[in-house]
């Protein structure tokens, strides 16, 4: 019987703490390793949906792994091993309390702000006369604060990040440099797959020896927005919607059903049919982004499988 991961409550050897995010759970082992488990939870508008999506965690974890492999020559990352399809193990890092969001096109949140009449976002100028999904003259970095306890992430400017001391100036300059480099590589990788990397976010941390590294996911459909390149300009010229390859289809369905994460709004009912449809869309995203067929792992006893594989890694590395 197929199972999904909602939450975990493991007790590993030398476990120091556990942090539960919107879709990932991170275990600190011996103040040396971070064990990150990608659950099947679905988050939209910073709200976790009541039902899980089969294979979603595996999909995000495996895309992130592939993308970290393809960018490690540019930017060091935290990853050590993938002992299980839903698990990444890496170096213990102190995360920076900002997400580095970078946008190449006027889409999603940026477009909603633009429609509301704003022409600056996080201190970055957005030219007049743009249409939804138009390309910016140059990519813009629009950071957001890292929310805790389920609160909304909030836009913040470079100026305020430095002014409030959230990130030191020297460190922030490294984050900017890495963000531009990763987005350039991500754009090139997407182009090889006939895709456009529209926008994405990167998260960074600092290792015990002071090295800044890429952490968490990268270029996944949860953290990024993709368009199909074929027909992009024709659709723009006609004022048509772009063919998207991202989690935006979930957000659009929620908006159509009266939910944007605002106070007093009810999450619409997700039927089995809707859940399966979302799962299939995630599989389609995996195959288009990676160019490889998706292999569904056995989920009969998924929590036991995950625990066994993590314990095997720890047995061989906790010495």
Predicted TM-score of the model (pTM): 0.89
- By DSSP bridging, strand 43-44 and strand 47-48 are antiparallel
Confidence band for 313, pLDDT divided at 50, 70 and 90: very high
pLDDT value of residue 148: 59
CA dihedral 106, 110, 116, 117 (to 10 degrees): -60
CA 4, 39, 46, 219 dihedral sign is: negative
Give the pair of three-digit tokens for residue 283.
Answer: 């599989």
DSSP string, 1-51: -----S------TTEEEEEE-SSEEEEEETTTEEEEEE-S--EETTEE-SS
pLDDT value of residue 277: 92
pLDDT value of residue 150: 47
Q: Is the pLDDT of residue 149 over 60?
A: no
Do 30 and 39 touch, CB atoms closer than 8 A?
A: no
Q: Is the pLDDT of residue 33 over 90?
A: yes
CATH H-level, domain 95-246: superfamily: ATP-grasp fold, B domain (3.30.470.20)
Integer CA distances (angstroms), 195 to 8, 179, 285, 287, 288, in order: 35, 19, 11, 12, 8
- Residue-averaged pLDDT of the chain: 93
* Short-list 168, 5, 30, CA closest to 85: 5
What average pLDDT does this structure show over 214-228? 91
pLDDT value of residue 106: 98
Integer CA distances (angstroms), 172 to 6, 78, 148, 214, 242, in order: 35, 18, 21, 13, 33
Domain boundaries, the chain: 95-246
Which tens digit of pLDDT belongs to each residue from 293-308? 999 999 999 999 999 9
**Better-predicted residue by pLDDT, 90 or 245:** 90
Confidence band for 252, pLDDT divided at 50, 70 and 90: confident
The position carrying tokens 């929620």 is: 254
Taking the C-alpha atoms of residue 28 and residue 31, their distance in angstroms, rounded to an integer, is 6
pLDDT value of residue 131: 97
Q: Which residues pair with 233 in a beta bridge?
A: none
Of 120-124, 128-132, 134-138, 262-266, give the lowest mean pLDDT range.
262-266
């Amino acid at each position: 019987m197929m199972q999904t991961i909602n939450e975990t409550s493991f007790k590993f050897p030398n476990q120091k703490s556990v942090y539960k995010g919107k879709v990932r759970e991170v275990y600190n082992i011996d103040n040396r390793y971070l064990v990150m488990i990608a659950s099947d939870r679905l988050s939209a508008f910073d709200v976790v949906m009541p039902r899980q999506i089969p294979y979603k965690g595996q999909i995000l974890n495996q895309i992130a792994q592939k993308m970290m492999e393809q960018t490690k020559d540019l930017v060091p990352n935290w990853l050590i091993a993938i002992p299980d399809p839903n698990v990444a193990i890496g170096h213990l890092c102190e995360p920076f309390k900002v997400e580095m969001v970078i946008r190449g096109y006027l889409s999603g949140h940026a477009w909603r702000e633009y429609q509301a009449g704003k022409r600056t976002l996080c201190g970055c100028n957005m030219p007049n006369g743009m249409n939804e999904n138009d390309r910016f003259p140059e990519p813009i970095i629009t950071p957001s604060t890292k929310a805790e306890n389920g609160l909304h992430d909030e836009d913040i400017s470079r100026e305020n990040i430095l002014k409030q001391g959230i990130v030191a100036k020297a460190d922030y300059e490294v984050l900017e440099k890495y963000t531009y480099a990763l987005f350039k590589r991500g754009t090139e990788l997407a182009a090889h797959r006939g895709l456009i990397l529209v926008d994405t976010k990167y998260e960074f941390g600092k290792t015990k020896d002071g090295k800044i590294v890429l952490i968490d996911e990268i270029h996944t459909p949860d953290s990024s927005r993709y368009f199909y390149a074929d027909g992009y300009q024709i659709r723009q010229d006609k004022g048509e919607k772009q063919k998207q390859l991202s989690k935006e289809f979930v957000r659009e369905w929620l908006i159509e059903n009266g939910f944007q994460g605002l106070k007093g709004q009810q999450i619409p009912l997700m039927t089995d049919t809707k859940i399966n449809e979302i799962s299939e869309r995630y599989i389609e995203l995996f195959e288009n982004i990676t160019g490889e067929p998706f292999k569904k792992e056995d989920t009969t006893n998924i929590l036991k499988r995950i625990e066994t594989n993590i314990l095997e890694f720890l047995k061989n590395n906790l010495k």
